[in-house]
Amino acid sequence: MSNVSSLSSVRPKVLEFFAGIGLARIGLESAGFNVAWSNDFEADKKAMYEAHFKDTASGNDHTFALGDVGEVRVGDLPKGSSVAWASSPCTDLSLAGGRAGLAGKSSGTFWQFIRLLEELGDDRPEVVVLENVTGLATSHGGDDLTAAIRAFNGLGYSVDVLALDARRFVPQSRPRMFLVGALNPPENAVTPNSELRPDWLQWIYGDDTLLTHKATLPLPPAPLTSGLGKVIEEMSLDDERWWDEERTDLFTKSLSAVQDERVVAMKRSTGVKYRTAYRRTRNGVPVWEVRPDDVSGCLRTARGGSSKQAVVRVGNKRLQVRWMTPREYARLMGADDYDLTTTRTNQALFGFGDAVAVPAVAWLAKHYLMPMITGVMKPAAVESETVAANG
């Protein structure tokens, strides 16, 4: 048995930057990858990560580097990785403050990611992925997205840009953008998928100073229009987590006329429905807004009350409200079985609200990343003239 390679050693290796609580890892490994190294600077996220994966106890050859990515040195990274995944904070792509100091500690975290890829030299991964909010496409008039693509181009990567909403897999509206960079890009699709590359992304491919490609990909599942009720935790009507009468009354009084009419109609209806609600500030006044459909709003980092999502149980002449639970957050992120036994509530809400949905990663890994790594996607023919990566 000593001569038999471990399963992890034969699976394509991944570097997981800005790992958070490891939801990208779950999606990548479900598609056959081996996440060998991870990094994040928040101790609470690392604690959740290790409680779930239990790498030390299971004997997995995995390293979690806690700390600022600016402190990571190229020698810390395992060799022979096929993919580098990064869910970098969107604010760190800003050009404000200048890009000159890529090697400087004060540079944005995205640029530290680029620094490490550059320092890997010939050992840099064949594929890189940057996951971010869709607002990146318009941030600073598109300059931030252009800068990110140019940075990858400068390292030899052609870039494809996809928009994918977690709502195609789970009942949560969570649109995200994925930049997929490839050293050996696949052939361009004859008919590019417009659902993955909507009109508001087409300007990228029309910029002839950028090196881009459009891989042939299958249609993702259609966006869900229901399913929230199926992820709600079962609990008795007298559970202490349901708000008391006074707090529920304040919730109702904060609703706008349109919102109140909607809730009253659902309250009078037969059967129980579940909806989600956010507290927002309108004209300087905090109000609650209830979604009209059986889908959750986008989960956010729970730094304050306005970021936390509430569950509304309504119907059969009854209205009850409470905060969404960590398990419900996990289910809405496609991490139904995530180990939460040692996790504090706010720790969990923050971790999931700041993460990428597992099934979106799994879909991308299965239909795009793994086919490129294994050669299933035919590489594009080498052109006689190359596009200048930096304009």
Tell me the per-residue pLDDT of 214-273, one tens digit each, with 9 for 90 and over.
999 999 999 999 999 999 999 999 999 999 999 999 999 999 999 999 999 999 999 999
Give me the pLDDT at residue 380, please: 81
Q: Decide if 298 is catalytic.
A: no
Residue 329 located in a structural domain: no
Domain match, 212 and 242 both: no
The three-state secondary structure class of 286 is strand
Q: What is the mean pLDDT of residues 18-24?
A: 97
**Alpha-helix runs per DSSP H in the chain:** 7-10, 23-30, 43-53, 55-58, 109-120, 143-153, 202-206, 228-231, 245-253, 257-268, 326-332, 345-353, 358-364, 370-374
Res 15 pLDDT > 80: yes
Domain match, 177 and 249 both: no
- In whole angstroms, what is the distance from residue 251 CA to residue 263 CA? 11
Write down the residue that tokens 């479900």 correspond to: 30
Domain match, 194 and 255 both: no
Domain match, 199 and 149 both: yes
Domain match, 34 and 175 both: yes
User: What's the predicted TM-score (pTM) here?
Assistant: 0.90
Amino acid occupying residue 264: V
Domain match, 22 and 145 both: yes
Tell me the per-residue pLDDT of 322-367, one tens digit each, with 9 for 90 and over.
999 999 999 999 999 999 999 999 999 999 999 999 999 999 999 9
Give me the pLDDT at residue 29, please: 97
CATH of the domain at 198: 3.40.50.150
Catalytic residue among 51, 74, 90, 235: 90
Residue 342 located in a structural domain: no
Q: State the residue range of the domain holding 256.
A: 234-324
Structure tokens at 116: 């490490």
Tally of domains in the chain: 2
Domain match, 55 and 163 both: yes
Res 1 pLDDT > 50: no
CA distances from 13 to 27, 84, 186 (A): 14, 9, 20
Domain match, 259 and 356 both: no
Domain match, 201 and 294 both: no
Amino acid occupying residue 278: Y
Tell me the per-residue pLDDT of 94-106, one tens digit each, with 9 for 90 and over.
443 344 333 334 3
